[in-house]
Structure 1
Amino acid sequence: MIEALYYVLAVVVAFLVLAIRILREYERGVIFMLGRFWKVKGPGLIILIPGIQQMVRVSLRTVVLDVPSQDVISKDNVSVKVNAVIYYRVVDPENAIIQVEDYDTAISQLSQTTLRSVLGQHDLDEMLAERDKLNNDIQQILDEQTDAWGVKVANVEIKHVDLDESMIRAIAQQAEAERSRRAKIINAEGEKQAADKLLEAAKILSVDPRAIQLRYLQTLKDISNQQSSTVVFPLPLDLITPLLGAAAHRKNETSE
C-alpha cells in the first residue's frame, strides 16, 4: 500500500515537473497542441499536458544586432567598408515562430543585404554627410520586410564607414582645394565691397569741393601721427595750378 502511494506520488511529481512552466514578464509561450498552434500564453505559471502540448519560449525584449562589416561600392564607384547596429524586438510571438524558422538569423542576413543595397545607391559624400537619412531608409525597408515575421525593427545606426588610405588622401586634397576656393571667393567679395565703398565715397566728395579739403586735412593729421623718417606731403592740384601759372607769367615777363 505504501509502495503504491509512493508510486502515485512520484507520477504526480513527474507530471508536475513536465507540465508546469514559469514564464518571466518579458517572455511569452507559443503553445502547440498535437502539432497545431493553439494559443500564446504568459507571463506567469503555465500548465501543459505532457505529450500533447508543447511550448516554445519567445523573448519580447529588444535585441541588439551587430551587422558585420560589409563591402559596399558607392554610386560614384568608391569601395568602402560599412558596419551597423540594428535594434529589433518581437511583437507577435505567433508569427515569429510559425512564419520563419529562425528570425534572429533571418534578420541578420536580411540586414546585411539591405545595407549593401541601400548604400550602393548613394554617393560617398551622402554616406558621410546624410547618415540619419540612410538610417531611416534602411530601418523602413527592414521593418516592412520583417512585419510578416512579427518583428519590429525599431532603429538602425550606421557605425563606421571605413576608407582606404588613398581615398582618405584624395578626400583631404579635395577638402583643401575647397577651402582655398572659398578663401579666394571671400577675398574677391571683400575687394568688390571695398571698391564699391570707395566709389561711393568719391561720389560724395565730388558733390562739394570743401569735402575734399576736409579729407586732405584729415590725411595730413594721420601722416603726422606716424613714426616715420620719410613723409610724403601731397598737394591738391587746385593749389598747385595757380602757382605754376604765376611762375610761367613771371618767366614770360622776364624774357620780354
Structure 2
Amino acid sequence: MGNFINVVSQYERMAVFTLGKFSGMRKPGFHLLFWPIQRQERVDLREEVLDIPRQTNITLDNAPIDIDFLVYMRVTEDNASSAVLEVVDYHSAVIGIATTTLRAVIGEIPLDDVLSQRDRINEELRQKLDDVTTRWGIKVTQVEIREVEPATDIQEAMNRQMSAERFRRAAVTEAEGTRQAAITVAEGEKQSAVLRAEGEKQADILTAEGQKQAEILRAEGHSAALDKISQVAKNLESNTMSLQYFETLREIGAGESTKYVLPLELTNLLKPFTNKIQENL
C-alpha cells in the first residue's frame, strides 16, 4: 500500500473520501492519503468568470434579441463541500441556469427597457442566479451583459425612429429659438416704448415747468413795473400833473374839433396856478 502526500494551495480546499465516504475538507498544507482506500477532489476558491454563450431571447413585446453576458462567481469556503457533493459539474450547472434565467428575465421586460436598463437586468440576473447556486456552495458576485443585438428589421426600425426623433428635436429646438427671439424682440420693443414714453413725459414736465417759471417771472416783472410806476406817481407834485393837463389841452386845441369835453377835476388842477397868480398880484 503506497503513501501519497498531497499539497493543498492557499486558494484551494481538498475534499477527502475514505472508502467512498466523505471524510471532510482539508485546508492548505500537505496531507497524507492512503490509496486506494482514500481519494480526493479539489475545489478552487478563487473568483471565476463564465462566458455565457449568445442566445436569442424574446422580450415582453415579442421582439427577438440576441444577448451574451458574463457571470462572476466563486465557491464559498464555508460551503465548499457542496460544490463537490451537491452537483457533478458546477460550471456547466451555472451556465445552464444562467441561460434559462436570462430568458425568463428578458421575457418580462419590453425591448426599450432591455436596451436602456442594463444595470437593472444585471442585478436582477445576479439575484436570481445567486438564489439557485447557493445550494451548490456557489456565490454569484456579479453579472455583466456584454452585448445586446436586436434583429435586423428591429434595428432598421429603431434607426428610422431615432432619425425621426432627431428631426423632431431639431424642429422643437428651432421653434423654441424662434419663440425666444420673438419674446426678446417684443421685450426690447416694450422697454423701448416705456423709455420713450418716460422720456416724453419728462420732457413735457420740464416744458411745463419752464413755462410755469417763465409766467412767474413775467408776472413778477409786471408787478415790479407797476410797483415802480406807483412809486413814481406818488412822488409827482400837483404842479407837474397840472402842466401835463395843460400840455394835453394844448394838443386838443390844435385839433380841428369844435367841441371839447373837459373833466370836472380841471378846476381843482387849475387852483394851484390861480392861487399863484393871485399871490403875485
TM-score computed with the length of structure 2 as normaliser? 0.65
How far does the alpha carbon of each residue in 1:229-249 deviate from its partner, in whole angstroms, 9 at most, with x for none?
xxxxxxxxxxxxxxxxxxxxx
Note if 1:126 corresponds to 2:146. Answer: no
Q: What is the match of residue 165 of structure 1?
A: 152
Give the SS at the match of 1:100: coil
Q: What is the match of residue 218 of structure 1?
A: none
1:72 to 33, 57, 63: 57
Give the SS at the match of 2:141: strand
CA distance in 2, matches of 1:205, 1:61: 77
Q: What is the match of residue 136 of structure 2?
A: 149
How far does the alpha carbon of each residue in 1:170-229 deviate from its partner, in whole angstroms, 9 at most, with x for none?
11110011111111111222222222222222322222437899xxxxxxxxxxxxxxxx
Give the SS at the match of 1:159: strand
Note if 1:137 corresponds to 2:104. Answer: no
Give the SS at the match of 2:125: helix
> Can you give the 5+ residue segments of structure 2 that lack an aligned partner in the other structure?
201-281
- Contact kept? 1:205, 1:211, Cα under 8 Å: no
Note if 1:101 corresponds to 2:88. Answer: yes
- Contact kept? 1:83, 1:161, Cα under 8 Å: yes
How far does the alpha carbon of each residue in 1:53-83 deviate from its partner, in whole angstroms, 9 at most, with x for none?
3321111222221111111011121101111
How far does the alpha carbon of each residue in 1:122-157 deviate from its partner, in whole angstroms, 9 at most, with x for none?
122222222122111111111121111101112211
Give the SS at the match of 2:160: helix
CA distance in 2, matches of 1:211, 1:159: 69
The alignment's C-alpha RMSD in Å is 2.1
Structure 1 stretch displaced more, 26-35 or 178-187? 26-35
TM-score computed with the length of structure 1 as normaliser? 0.71
CA distance in 2, matches of 1:208, 1:115: 70
CA distance in 2, matches of 1:34, 1:112: 37
CA distance in 2, matches of 1:183, 1:170: 20
Cα 1:194–1:116, aligned 2, differ >3 Å: closer, same or farther?
A: same
Note if 1:50 corresponds to 2:21. Answer: no
Q: What is the match of residue 257 of structure 2?
A: none
Q: What is the match of residue 90 of structure 1?
A: 75
Q: CA deviation at 1:47?
A: 1.1
Q: What is the match of residue 6 of structure 2?
A: 21
